[in-house]
Structure 1
Amino acid sequence: MIIAFIFVTSYQYVDRIFVSQLGDVATAAIGMAFTLQMVVISLGVGIGNGVNSFISRNLGANKNEVAENTILHAFLIAIVVGLLLTAMGLLGQRFLFRQLGADGQLLEFITAYLTIIFLFTPVNLLTMVSSSVYQGWGDTVSPMKFMLLGNIINLTLDPLLIFGLASFPELGIQGAAWATGLGRAVSLLYVGYQMFFRHQPTQLKLRLFRLDRAIISGVFQVGLPASVSQMLTSVAMMFVFYVLNPFGSDARAAYTIVFTYEMVIFLPAIGISQAVSILTGHNFGAGHFERVNKVYFTGIGVAFSIMAFSALIIIVFST
C-alpha cells in the first residue's frame, strides 16, 4: 500500500526532475502549481479513505451488497467532484497565483501546466478512488500494478514531450502535464477493464444501482476531515511561496526541491495510515474491537520508527 501511494504522487516528482532542466523559473512554476494540485490530491485521498473505510466496514459486517453499491457511488462522487474542481481550477488559477506573487513568465508557466492538469482531474480522482476500492476489498496489489503502469507511461512520455525527442513535439512544461494526464488515463482504462470485464474485485451490477444518501454521507464523514487536514499542508506551502516572493525564482526553485524530498519522506507514514484505516474498518465491522486497538498502536509504532529513521538520515546527510 505504501508503494501504491508513492505511485499516486510520483507523477509530480518525475515531472520536476525533467522540468528542472528547463531552468529555475520552470522549476519554481511546477513547485507553485503543485500547491493547487495538492488540493486535488487531498480530496482524492480523503474521498478514497472514506470509500475504503465504508467498504471494509460493510464487508466485515457481511453486507456485501452495500459494499458493492458503494463502488458505484464512489465513481459518481469522483466524477462530480472532479468536474467541479476542473471548472474552479480553470477559472480561478490565474487569480490565485497572482495573489501569491507570480507574474510574467512564471505565471504563464504555472497556468500552462495547470490548465492541462485540471482537464484530467476527473480521471485523476477516478483512478485514486478505484485504488481505494481495491484496498477496501483487501487487495493492495492491484492498485500498485495500475499505478505502476501509469507511472511508466509518464516516465516515458516526459522527456519525449518536454524536449521534443524522437519526432515528438517540443511542448516544454506543457509536455510534463500531458505526460501526467495520459499516464493517469491509461491507468484508468486498465482499471475499467479489470472491473467491468474481469469483474475484479467484484462483479459490478449497474442495473442494481440505487442512489443512497447514507452511503454518500458515510463516505464524506470519514473522507472530508481527512481531506481538510491534508489541504492545510497545501495552504502552508502557498504561504511559504508568498513569503519567498521578494527573493525571486531561485528561492522558489530551491524550496520546490526541498519540499519534494520532504514529501517523499512522509509517504511511508501516509501509506501506513491508509492500511490502518482499512484494517480498522474490517475489524470494526466484524465486531473485533480488541484488534482495532492493536492495529492502531502497531501503526503508530511502525510509522514513528520509519519517520525517526528518516529524520536521522536527513540530519546526517543534510550537507
Structure 2
Amino acid sequence: MKHANAIARGVRPKEGAIANTDTPQPPARPARRDLTQGPIAKTLLLFALPTLGSNVLQSLNGSINSIWVGRFLGEGALAATTNANLVMFLMFALGFGFGMAATILVGQSMGARDVIGARRAMGTALGLFAIISVVIALLGWLFAPHLLRILSTPADSQALALAYLRVIFLAMPPMFIGVLLTMGMRGTGDSVTPLQLMILSVILDAGLNPLLIRGIGPFPRMGIAGSATATLIANYVVLVVGVAYIYLKDLPIRLRGSELRFLLPNPALLKVILVKGLPMGLQMLVFSFSGLVMIGLVNRAGVDVTAAYGIAQQLWTYVQMPALAIGAAVSAMVAQNIGAGRWERVGRITRAGVITNVVMTGALIVIILLFDRPIFALFVGGNSPAIPIARHIQLIGSWSFLLFGATLVLFSTVRANGAVYAPLIILILSVLVGRLGFAAALLPHYGTDVLWWSFPLGSAISLGLATAYYRFGDWRHPGMISQVIEEEVAEHSQADGEPGGRLNPGG
C-alpha cells in the first residue's frame, strides 16, 4: 500500500524497489523494441517508417476497392460506398480515442517493465472493444436504413448503400479488435508486425473484391455486397492470424491462464480509458465536422472548384501521412520513457519528431508541387479546367501540413502522459473558430482564395497554442498509470482493504 500511495503522489520508488502486488509478476521482458534506450532520432525513424507504410497501404487499399466498385458497378455504387464509409468513419472516431488511451497505458507499463500492467490495460480495452463492437454491429444492422436517410443518401443509391453497409457492420468486431491489437503492439515498441498484418489485409481485401463482385471462378456474384464481404473476410482472417502470431511469439500483450480474467474490464482502468479516450475521439470528429463545413463552402464556387478541391485532397491524404506516422512513433516512445521515469529523453524525442516531420513532410510537399500536374491529370484528364485551380490550391494549402505535423508531434507528447483536454480545446479554437470562422467571414468579400489560406492560418494558430501549452502547461504531472492507482487506492481505502492485482509502474 505504501508503494502504491507513493506512485499515486507521483513519487517514484527507489531503483530496485520491489512492487507489492497480489498478482504474481513474471520476469520483466523487454518490448519488441525498447524505446527507452539508444539513439533517439534513429529509433524514432525505424519505428515510424513501418507505421508510415501501414498508413499508405490502408489508403491504397481504399483507393483500389473504389476502383473495383466504380469500374464494375458504376457511379451509383461508388456513391453508395462513400456514404457508407462516412458512417464507418464516425464509428471509428471514438473507438480510435479509446484505443489510443489503452495504448498509452500499455506503453507506460512497458517502460516501467510492468508486463502485468500492460496485459491488464490491454485486457480491459479488449473487453470494452468486444462489447462495443458487437453492440454497434447489431444496432447498425437494424438501423442502417435510418442512418442512410439521416445522411440524405441519394434515393438511387440507398438500396446499394444499405446492402454494403449492413455487411460492413458485421465486420465491425474484427475491425475494432484488430485495430486495438495493432495499436497495442505499437505501444510495446513493435511497429513491424502491424505492417505485415496490413499487407495481408490489403492482399485479401483488394484481391477478393473483383472475385466477389463479379462472381469470378467458384465465387458467388454478390455485386456491391461482395466488396463489403471481401472486407469482412479480410478482417476476420487478419484478426485470427494476428492473435495466433501474438501467442506463437509470446508477445507482452498476450493473455494466458488466470490472466484471461483481465478481459473483464477493471473499473479503474476502464474509467481512465473512457475519460482519456473520449476527448481523443472527439478530436477526430472536429476534423470530420470541419471537413463537411468546408466542402459546403467550396461547393458554392462551382463544379470546377469543387473538383479541384477534391483532387487536391487526394494528394493531401498522402502529404499528412509522415506526420501521422511520426506522431504515432513519438507517442509510443514518450509513453515508454515516462513509464521508465526517463523524463530527460522526452524533450529530445519531441525535438527529433518535429525535425523529422519537417524533413519528411517538406520533401514530400516539394516533390508533389513539382509533379502535381501529371498526377492531377490521372483524375480528371490533362485538359480539365480543374487542374490549374487544383495547382493553385496545392501551392497555398500544402505548406500548412508542415505546421500540422509539428502540432501533431506536440500533441502526441502531451497525450502520452494523459493530457487530452488541452489538445481538444486547441483544435476547436484553431479549426472551428480560426479556420472556419476566417473562411466563412471573408469568403463573400475576397473570394475562394480565402478558403485555401484558411488552412495555413488554422495550422499556425494550432501550432502557436500547442507550443505554448507544451512549454508552459501542466501536462508533466504523474502519468496515466498513477491515475489508475489513485482510483484503485481511493476505492479500496473506502472499503478498508488492500487493492489487489493493481498496476505497479515502479516495479
- Indicate the TM-score class for this superposition, using the shorter chain for normalisation: 0.7 to 0.9
Counterpart Cα distance in 1 of 2:211 and 2:217: 7
Mapped contact 1:273–1:299 kept (Cα < 8 A): yes
Secondary structure at the residue paired with 2:251? coil
Q: Which has the higher contact order (CA 8 A, sep 6+)?
A: 1
1:46-65 equivalence runs, <5 A: 46-65=97-116
Correspondence for 2:323 among 253, 269, 272? 269
Counterpart Cα distance in 2 of 1:245 and 1:182: 37
Match for residue 203 of structure 2? 152
- Matched residues, percent identical? 25
Mapped contact 1:36–1:234 kept (Cα < 8 A): no
Secondary structure at the residue paired with 1:231? helix
Match for residue 74 of structure 2? 23
Mapped contact 2:118–2:252 kept (Cα < 8 A): no
Mapped contact 1:38–1:231 kept (Cα < 8 A): no
Correspondence for 2:278 among 224, 231, 248? 224
Correspondence for 1:4 among 54, 62, 65? 54
Counterpart Cα distance in 1 of 2:348 and 2:77: 47
1:31-180 equivalence runs, <5 A: 31-180=82-231
How far off its partner does 1:276 sit?
Answer: 0.9
How far off its partner does 1:163 sit?
Answer: 2.0
Q: Which moved more, 1:81-90 or 1:133-142?
A: 81-90
CA-to-aligned-CA distance 1:229-265 (integer Å, 9 cap, x gap): 1123333455567789999x99999987664543233
How far off its partner does 1:184 sit?
Answer: 0.9
1:228-267 equivalence runs, <5 A: 228-238=282-292, 259-267=313-321
Q: TM-score, with normalisation over the residues of structure 2? A: 0.57
Match for residue 490 of structure 2? none
CA-to-aligned-CA distance 1:120-166 (integer Å, 9 cap, x gap): 10110110001011111111111111221121111210111112222
Mapped contact 1:15–1:158 kept (Cα < 8 A): yes
Distance 1:255 1:173, change over 3 A: farther
**Higher helix share goes to which structure?**
1
Mapped contact 2:167–2:232 kept (Cα < 8 A): yes
Counterpart Cα distance in 2 of 1:236 and 1:13: 23
How far off its partner does 1:217 sit?
Answer: 2.7
Structure 2 spans left out of the alignment, 5+ residues = 1-50, 374-386, 388-507
The one-letter code matched in structure 2 to 1:269 is A
How far off its partner does 1:6 sit?
Answer: 3.6
Q: Which moved more, 1:138-147 or 1:192-201?
A: 192-201
Correspondence for 2:233 among 165, 182, 187? 182
Match for residue 268 of structure 2? 214
Distance 1:268 1:43, change over 3 A: farther
Q: TM-score, with normalisation over the residues of structure 1? A: 0.87
Structure 1 spans left out of the alignment, 5+ residues = none
The one-letter code matched in structure 1 to 2:172 is T
Mapped contact 1:124–1:184 kept (Cα < 8 A): yes
CA-to-aligned-CA distance 1:214-238 (integer Å, 9 cap, x gap): 2223333443222111123333455
Match for residue 335 of structure 2? 281
Distance 1:33 1:260, change over 3 A: farther
The one-letter code matched in structure 2 to 1:188 is L
Secondary structure at the residue paired with 1:168? coil
Counterpart Cα distance in 2 of 1:129 and 1:282: 18
Counterpart Cα distance in 2 of 1:253 and 1:86: 34
Mapped contact 2:246–2:253 kept (Cα < 8 A): yes
The one-letter code matched in structure 2 to 1:212 is N
Distance 1:100 1:291, change over 3 A: same
Secondary structure at the residue paired with 2:320? helix
Counterpart Cα distance in 1 of 2:172 and 2:165: 10
Larger Rg: 2
Mapped contact 1:30–1:113 kept (Cα < 8 A): yes
How far off its partner does 1:2 sit?
Answer: 1.8
The one-letter code matched in structure 2 to 1:14 is I
Q: Which moved more, 1:307-316 or 1:148-157?
A: 307-316
The one-letter code matched in structure 2 to 1:266 is Q
How far off its partner does 1:278 sit?
Answer: 0.5
Secondary structure at the residue paired with 1:138? coil
Counterpart Cα distance in 2 of 1:51 and 1:100: 31
CA-to-aligned-CA distance 1:77-122 (integer Å, 9 cap, x gap): 2111212322343344433332333232212222221111111101
Match for residue 63 of structure 2? 13
How far off its partner does 1:283 sit?
Answer: 0.8
Secondary structure at the residue paired with 2:152? coil
Distance 1:183 1:141, change over 3 A: same
How far off its partner does 1:66 sit?
Answer: 0.9
Counterpart Cα distance in 2 of 1:251 and 1:75: 45
